[in-house]
Amino acid sequence: MSQLEIHIPENWPPSDNAGEEAVTIFRWYLRGPQGNLLRSGHDAPGAMPTAGHCHIVLPASRVLLSSVKPPAQNRRKFMQALPYAVEDRIMADPASIHVAAGEVQVNGEMPVAIMDRAWLRRVLDALQSSGIKPVRAEVETLLAPCETGEWTLIWRAHGSFLRQGPHSGIPLDGGDAAHPPAALQLALSAADNPPGSIQLFLDGASAPDLDAWTSSLGIPVKAGGEWQRPAMAEHGINLLQGEFAARSTHANWLPRLRPALMLASLILGLHVIFTIGDWAMLKFEKHRLTASMEQSFRKAFPDAKVIVDAPLQMRRNLAELRHNSGMMNSNDFLPLLALVTPKLGAQAQLRGLDYQQETLKIKLTLPDMAAADKLRSSLPQASLTSGSSSSGSLEAELTIGK
């Protein structure tokens, strides 16, 4: 996905009471998915090319780089109180600053980037008013090359800066062709591990007298040529954290969908409640009917000890009572035979009868298939199987009963 990288000037946007003209021309770089440079230019926000993601680079003078050592316990609470942990570094109200944290290093130190909270909010609001929504922000200090044992200085006519290590650096003011900035000399004096050399890159400015600087600083100052800005490092400190974190497309749509989601949840909840209520009512009705059938069965047959299936036991007991009293059942031999006989017709020849367990089987010889179909349609409750015989007639078996 393409990436638009916008460099924010330190004097933009002006404060509400500054009375300054806002800078409307920005330096931008359009990069490909692998960070390769596609195009670059200087334009107002509306004239910049579109890209899949937008990243911004903040000036070194607006961001203070430092580090803290978080405790092993209560790390979450410490992160919430991070502005108070760096209060002594800037001597400012913790509520007025924004602190972005990087990954904890091997030595237990956690790099942090500190900046003015109100200024960062104005930057993001001004960009958003032009339709630009950054998903990542980094400080330009950490975009300079970093070599072990060497510091890197980006020299400009205004707004130079120094990178001292993987997560450290300072802005530089002053200095000229013959004299290095005073802040650089102070940084060398205060360094626990001074660098072996300083590599100087030019960014739109004339080269200073490196020999004079070397003599003044006491360490070699080497020419690095023109600074070629690299792609922003995804593993660096993303300054858009906490309240400034980029909101995804889903997060932007969520407030609009919330009423519909709440209504859908309410409907679903009511549906579940009514379904459970209906199921409970049907279960109660089933239990009531089962109890009523068992009660009726016990009244009719008080000697029954175990009731498993009251309706089935009732049918069996009634059938047994009919047999004992001499009453015939519909599945007895004679009623079944009386049902079948009128349907056989004069052409059917009886070959055998078999009655067992309330089932009557009759073996027949039928003249043809038409007679078999007629018999089958006249006794839909019976089962008729047929097969041809040597004489051309049909041998069939009629089954009816239980």
Interior/surface letters 288-316, b for 16+ CB within 10 angstroms, e for the rest: eeeeebbeebeeeeeeeeeeeebeebbee
Structure-token match 């409907």, residue found = 267
53 membership: H or E segment, kind and range: strand 53-58
Among residues 244, 224, 213, the alpha carbon closest in space to that of 97 is found at 244
Domain ranges of the chain: 1-140+232-246, 145-226, 255-323, 333-401
Record the tokens describing residue 321, joined without a space.
Answer: 């009572």
Fold classification of 333-401 is: Gyrase A; domain 2 (3.30.1360)
pLDDT of residue 391: 66
pLDDT of residue 299: 86
Q: Is the peptide bond before 13 cis (omega within 30 degrees of 0)?
A: yes
R_g of the chain, CA atoms, integer Å: 47
pLDDT of residue 38: 92
Show Cβ contacts of residue 57 under 8 Å, excluding neighbours closer than 6 positions: 5, 6, 7, 8, 137, 138, 139, 140, 143, 232
Neighbours of 78 (CB within 10 A): 17
pLDDT of residue 250: 52
Same topology, domains 145-226 and 333-401? Answer is no
User: For the chain, how many residues are written?
Assistant: 402
pLDDT of residue 305: 78
Determine the CATH number of domain 145-226. Answer: 3.30.420
Among residues 144, 136, 94, 89, the alpha carbon closest in space to that of 111 is found at 89
Interior/surface letters 13-45, b for 16+ CB within 10 angstroms, e for the rest: beeeeeeeeeeeebebbbbeeeeeeeeeeeeeb
**Average pLDDT for runs of 10 along the chain of length 402:** 92 68 78 89 90 93 94 87 88 92 92 95 92 93 94 95 96 95 95 95 95 96 93 80 78 70 92 94 92 87 83 81 74 83 82 87 87 86 78 83 77
The burial class, CB within 10 Å (0-12 / 13-18 / 19+), for 152 is buried
Cβ(123)–Cβ(105) below 8 Å: no
Output the 3-class SS for 94-122. Answer: HHHEEEEECCCCCCCCEEEEEEEHHHHHH
Fold classification of 1-140+232-246 is: Nucleotidyltransferase; domain 5 (3.30.420)
